[in-house]
Amino acid sequence: MEILVLFYYFKVMVKYFDIIVIGAGHAGVEASVASAKMGCSVGLITMDINAISRMSCNPAIGGTAKGHLVREIDALGGVMGQIADKTGIQFKMLNISKGPAVWSPRCQSDKDLYSNEAARIVNHQSGIVVIQGMVKELRVSSCELQVGWKYKIEGIVTEQGREIECKSVIITSGTFLNAVMHTGKSQIEGGRLGEQSATGLSECMKNLGFKTGRLKTGTPPRLDKKTIDFGKTEIQPGDSDPQPFSHKTNVRFPYLTQVDCFLTHTNQKTHDILRTGFEDSPMFTGRIKGIGPRYCPSIEDKISRFSEKPRHQIFLEPETLDGETIYMNGFSTSLSVEVQEQAVRTIKGLENVKLLKQGYAVEYDFFPTHQINLTLETKLVSGLYTAGQINGTSGYEEAAAQGLIAGINAARKIRNEESFILKRSEAYIGVLIDDLINKCPTEPYRMFTSCAEYRLVLRQDNADQRLMQYGNGLGLIDNEFIEKLNKKVDLIKDGIDYCNRNTISPKFINEYLSQIKESELSQNEFLSNIIKRNEVKLRDILKLDCFKENILIQKLKEDKEAVNQIEIALKYKGYIDRQTEQISHFEKNERVRIPKDFKFDKIKSLSTEASEKLSKVKPNSIGQAMRIAGVRPSDISALMIYMRG
């Protein structure tokens, strides 16, 4: 009802907003909430007011590296982590058997509750008006006075012909721009099953001079829970002591009943049946022109590319807490419904399964990212920002991170404040955007821990220490959370100092060392040196009798996060120090600025490829120029010599 009231209010009254956000998915929600919190009036336009942050594909948040993004979004003042915590039905820390650089939080979400909670946050955020409609046109004016832009945004025009003026537009259109869904020989216009395609906006942008491309994504069938024999599958439980995403989540966490997921596998019979559908496959017959995500391939792509593998993992994941729909993770497909049904029923536990929804592929427009700046503002139109899958990324988390940065920068530009840009040495969000601009991916970009060269420093557990001060300065994080953070930082520092200064006697620790099969002490040893041993856990040492009366140790025992970070700091000190030194060298190059209107084609000693790439990307520092694909060290030397001369 509240959304409908706002919609009516818009139709009658509102003709101007500071910022218009096109699309109410994960990127759109972050962009609109952030810019509204920063004092801007926001019009959030969506084709379906009941689909805010709808989980089109897997109802899960986080995962390898994606969990890092969510923690960073939260530390900056975004809302994805809070929504995930409120609606998560299974929480799990991935890669825990490996080093802390790759530990990644993930949660299975109730997709209906997730969308409802996102809508609640949007509706209760002052400054946002939700508008149902489709944007067909951008209104721009000539922008000759501002260096680097050809046009300036003035407003938008909806499908109904209604004009709305604004200072900034953020496009977060997801997979809906000129979208086509493929299942076997069937092709239907639409960006999601049962939802229409967004038309007109791509054509408008192309007419302004933007380059466009086509990408593809896909989704697997949804299964009827009542028809699955879970006794034939492997149980995949969540963590018994789960960790929330948000630093704001209270002690009642987890909020909802926690459930299990399940694991099964395809087999040779499955693969043989799937191959019978290849002749009608839109992927193999060329009907799909767009490039799909290499790291999340369809099941037909898997058995084609990895024909030597006898089986592939299939995770069965509940879509809601109380519903009967199971998401078939690992079986994304665009084959015909008949082939899907036959193949699925060859899998252990799914012999009698009923498909509630078929899998399908979606092909959609995107805009290559050499056309945007590190702020996510376009280089052609001042005040126009793009975020999410329109920039060629895949995943809710990548979209939300971009939406947050776009919303922040749009608001700061309106307030005549300096742009907010995170360096790749500061955050995974910085890595994401830096890669988009400098590598300009031609396939859907997915974040991995391997993308971050400083990943031991950019861990998910220290996102608050790295970024929360930024969030506070932006007006997105309240002072109470900074005070709480400062207390934790002080406790960590005190704990590290204590371990570096104090020794422990063999009589207090040898029994523990013997239990974990570590060599015993013959004399007193510094705690910091003991903690560096592979099998030693700081939380276990704190339980020893010799620390019962120690006030600092008692404080530490009450703060699991602090204990974890002290252990990491001590265990990996040498590696962390090395990465810190590398970051210092990296930032030195970032400080060598390149003028915005620099003419790279004037440098005759540049290679032709480097001149073209540099002119296309327009890097604002030597460091950024060094990361552009096709730019060689000799080109950087020539550039620096020219700049000095």
Average pLDDT over residues 609-629: 90
CB 277 within 8 A of CB 304: no
E strands, 367-467, are 381-382, 384-386
**SS3 of 60, please?**
strand
| Cα gap 31→391, rounded to integer Å | 15
Sheet with strand 360-366: strands edge to edge:
186-189, 180-183, 360-366, 213-219
Fold of 222-363: Elongation Factor Tu (Ef-tu); domain 3 (2.40.30)
> What b/e string do you get for 223-246 counting C-beta neighbours within 10 Å, with b at 16 or more?
bebebbeeeebeeeebbeebbbbb
Mean pLDDT is lowest, of 35-49, 189-203, 345-359, 428-442, for 189-203
Encode pLDDT of 239-252 as tens digits. 999 999 999 998 78
| Band of residue 197 on the pLDDT scale cut at 50, 70, 90 | confident
Fold of 479-576: Arc Repressor Mutant, subunit A (1.10.10)
| Band of residue 7 on the pLDDT scale cut at 50, 70, 90 | very low
Residue 125 or residue 149, greater confidence: 125
Q: What percent of the chain has pLDDT over 90?
A: 75
DSSP classification of residue 593: B
Encode pLDDT of 283-298 as tens digits. 655 556 556 566 678 8
What pTM did the predictor assign?
0.94
Length of the chain: 645
Residue 43 has pLDDT above 80, yes or no: yes
Helix (H) and strand (E) counts in the chain: 22, 23
| Nearest by Cα to 106 from 71, 157, 141 | 71
Residue 258 has pLDDT above 70, yes or no: yes
Mean pLDDT is lowest, of 144-153, 195-204, 299-308, for 144-153
| Band of residue 13 on the pLDDT scale cut at 50, 70, 90 | low
3-state helix, strand, coil in the chain (%, to 5): 40, 20, 40
CATH of domain 591-644: 1.10.150.570
- The first and second tokens of residue 618, run together, are 């327009």
Residue 11 has pLDDT above 60, yes or no: no
Angle 583-588-592 (CA atoms, 0-180°, nearest 5)? 140
H helix intervals, 502-558 = 506-515, 527-531, 538-541, 551-557
Ranges of each domain in the chain: 222-363, 479-576, 591-644
Residue 10: per-residue pLDDT: 45
Encode pLDDT of 467-487 as tens digits. 999 999 999 999 999 999 999
CB 17 within 8 A of CB 162: no
> What b/e string do you get for 579-618 counting C-beta neighbours within 10 Å, with b at 16 or more?
beeebeebeebbeeebeeebebeebeebeeebbebbeebb
Average pLDDT over residues 55-59: 90
| Nearest by Cα to 28 from 375, 400, 413 | 400
| Cα gap 453→456, rounded to integer Å | 8
| Band of residue 5 on the pLDDT scale cut at 50, 70, 90 | very low
Start-to-end C-alpha separation, the chain: 65
Residue 361 has pLDDT above 90, yes or no: no
E strands, 384-501, are 384-386
Residue 287: per-residue pLDDT: 59
Encode pLDDT of 149-182 as tens digits. 889 999 999 998 899 999 999 999 988 888 887 7
| Cα gap 556→497, rounded to integer Å | 13
Average pLDDT over residues 424-435: 96
| Nearest by Cα to 107 from 242, 241, 297 | 242
In this structure, the number of other CB atoms found within 10 A of the CB of residue 129 comes to 21
CB 64 within 8 A of CB 54: no
DSSP classification of residue 126: T
Average pLDDT over residues 448-459: 95
Topology match between the domains 222-363 and 479-576? no
- The first and second tokens of residue 591, run together, are 């400080």
User: Given the structure tokens 């700061």, which residue do they identify?
Assistant: 412
